[in-house]
Structure 1
Amino acid sequence: MAKLPVTMACGPYDRMEALSSGIIQPEGIDLRYIAIQSPPEIFARMIKTRSFDVAEMSLAHYLISKIRGDFPYIAIPVFPSRVFRHGFVFINKNAGIESARDLENKRVGVQEYRQTAGVWVRGILQDEFDVDMNSIDWFEGGVNAPRAEDNEMDLRPTRDLPLTIIAGDKSLNQMLEAGEIDAYFGARRPDALHEGKNTDRLFPNYRELEKAYYKKTGIHPIMHTLVIREELFRDQPWMAESLFKAAEKSKEWAIEQMRFSGAQRLMLPWLHDEIEEMEQLMGSNAWAYGVEANRGTLETFMKYLVDQHFLEKTEPIDDYFTPIISWSE
């Protein structure tokens, strides 16, 4: 029986290497893995031109669009991108910001207000540091280069908020360094953190804060999931489980490669110390797939989407991911 041809666009991640190289092959699928470094490029090509059968997708864009009822994709509970975000809050040193609460009533930049990283940062600042997000004036634009507004990608909350779209010739990086905004947070670091004089992190000890956050909440923030074109999934429902199992095996392969101590696989001098520290804190599977293993994280994120007025109410998270029947989570 011929295999089902499937195109899949995803980042060039270590946990996907065995899948992208063909070392691991999903059962019944002839997979063409298209590695693209820029996640926004993948998202835009999938949403605007439906360029792929399967693609990495912003968790925020997926849940907001799917729950609002206008998104012809269904997610597999595979999460190729996760990032702790305490280290991605940046301030102008002259803005009078010494603690998280000092962000109140300030001018804060974001790449896209609905960006998954931004949703997580706002939620964490509100829950863990009691910051009133409603007091902030928001500025949206490109981080290290100007970015034009994109009505198809820039999902908005259901209520008005003080949001200024930055003119096309400016970047958030420039504005932060010049003091035209007081802070910025998002998925990318501003160049001024290392090249400028006036930009710094809000939390210099972010790594310790992130460890404490994980110990308290058990959350390793999910940024992206994988989605399948819905009509393809309806025609070939078995493919979701096949891709899930292959992604899980690819992740396990990557972990085995990292653990090999006979030679250093990655250009990280203390790689094995990092692996030991990660496993002491987070157990043996810090990158767990499946809904049940990530229920607390996904439900917290859903709550943040409601708190930030993207959704009217929380929804059962299981309704938005393909069931993985034979996988023991």
Structure 2
Amino acid sequence: MKRLTAMTGTYPRTRALKEHTVTSSAVELDFAPVEVAQRGFKAAVRELAYDVTELALMTFLVAYDAGKPLVLLPFAMNGGHHHKSILCRAGSVLTAEQLPGKTVAMRSYSQTTPTWVRGILADEYGVNVRDVRWLTQEGAHVEEYEDPAWVTRSSDGSLEDLLRTGKADAIIAGSGITGDDIRPLIPAPQAAAAAWEQRTGVVPINHMVAIRREVAEDAETVREVFRMLRESRAVAGEPERSGFGELRPALELGVRYAHEQQLIRKRYDVEELYGAARAALAG
């Protein structure tokens, strides 16, 4: 039996896998003691600490662009719409179209949620990413990556502090920021997201599963890992979100956004990102 090191967050969809309710006679996954996946991302891309790992989509793309020996499996761990993720002061009359020349703060420029938000702002509201002053609190998970010239590091407090004190005109945050003095920048964000999905056919992907390139050369291993991921999700009763065809629209758009925003140097074909796993899972 092949034993592989693994890292994912703990969710209903991974519980059966991490508790070894779902198993394989060919592959054993030895999970790192990580509950929140983001805490394992640096080790995954800087130390190549895991054979199989959950990764934020943009972390994977930046790592792939830097030459890290990782490829994707066609399994979306999580995702969702991000029209709601850019916030401004409730008393502000700011609109998305007025963002050029303004200051927008986020945790990291290479973070996946801000990348989706910036892409939506560009496509839907005509905002050129270079015309906004982007403030970040930290750098990328991938050590080799350097933020573009239009990004500035800030140490002036939390995202909420930056917004409430006026040091930022808007902030991008995935969740956890609420208050009567804060509102979504995009009006009726749920309706806007639904209309966007209908036009584009895309539900954004936040996290996927990656595998070391050398491990992906073993077709049986790839098939067993993929099977176990899907079965663990099925045990949780969650809807399927995997497969090359289903994930292609979101991945293609994510790659385009990453390239346009200078996270990656090349606009990769989605098929390339799977490496040998593509042939292993063909048909």
Per the normalisation by structure 2, the TM-score is 0.89
Match of 2:146 in 1: 156
Amino acid in the other structure paired with 1:156? E
Match of 1:261 in 2: none
Residue 310 in 1 paired to residue 258 in 2?
no
Unaligned runs of 5+ in 2: none
Between the aligned partners of 1:41 and 1:154, the Cα distance in structure 2 is 19
**SS of equivalent residue, structure 2 residue 236:** helix
- Aligned pairs for 1:23-172 (under 5 A) are 23-34=21-32, 36-68=34-66, 70-97=67-94, 99-141=95-137, 149=139, 152-153=142-143, 155-156=145-146, 159-161=148-150, 163-167=151-155, 170-172=157-159
Contact 2:115 2:257 in 1 (8 A): yes
**SS of equivalent residue, structure 2 residue 278:** coil
**Aligned residue-pair number:** 281
**SS of equivalent residue, structure 2 residue 59:** helix
Between the aligned partners of 2:69 and 2:166, the Cα distance in structure 1 is 42
Unaligned runs of 5+ in 1: 142-147, 259-284
Which structure has the greater CA radius of gyration?
1
Amino acid in the other structure paired with 1:165? R
Amino acid in the other structure paired with 1:4? K
Residue 182 (structure 2) aligned to one of 183, 199, 209: 199
Amino acid in the other structure paired with 2:146? R
Aligned identity (percent) is: 22
Between the aligned partners of 1:154 and 1:181, the Cα distance in structure 2 is 27
Per the normalisation by structure 1, the TM-score is 0.77
Amino acid in the other structure paired with 1:91? C
Distance 1:127 1:26, change over 3 A: farther
CA RMSD of aligned residues (A): 2.4
**SS of equivalent residue, structure 1 residue 45:** helix
Contact 2:14 2:232 in 1 (8 A): yes
- 1:89: how far off? 0.9
Amino acid in the other structure paired with 2:152? T
Amino acid in the other structure paired with 1:307? E
Higher relative contact order (CA 8 A, sep 6+): 2
Contact 2:81 2:193 in 1 (8 A): yes
**SS of equivalent residue, structure 2 residue 209:** strand
Distance 1:326 1:133, change over 3 A: closer
Match of 1:220 in 2: 203
- 1:54: how far off? 1.3
Amino acid in the other structure paired with 2:210? V
Match of 2:192 in 1: 209
Distance 1:129 1:81, change over 3 A: same
Between the aligned partners of 2:225 and 2:141, the Cα distance in structure 1 is 32
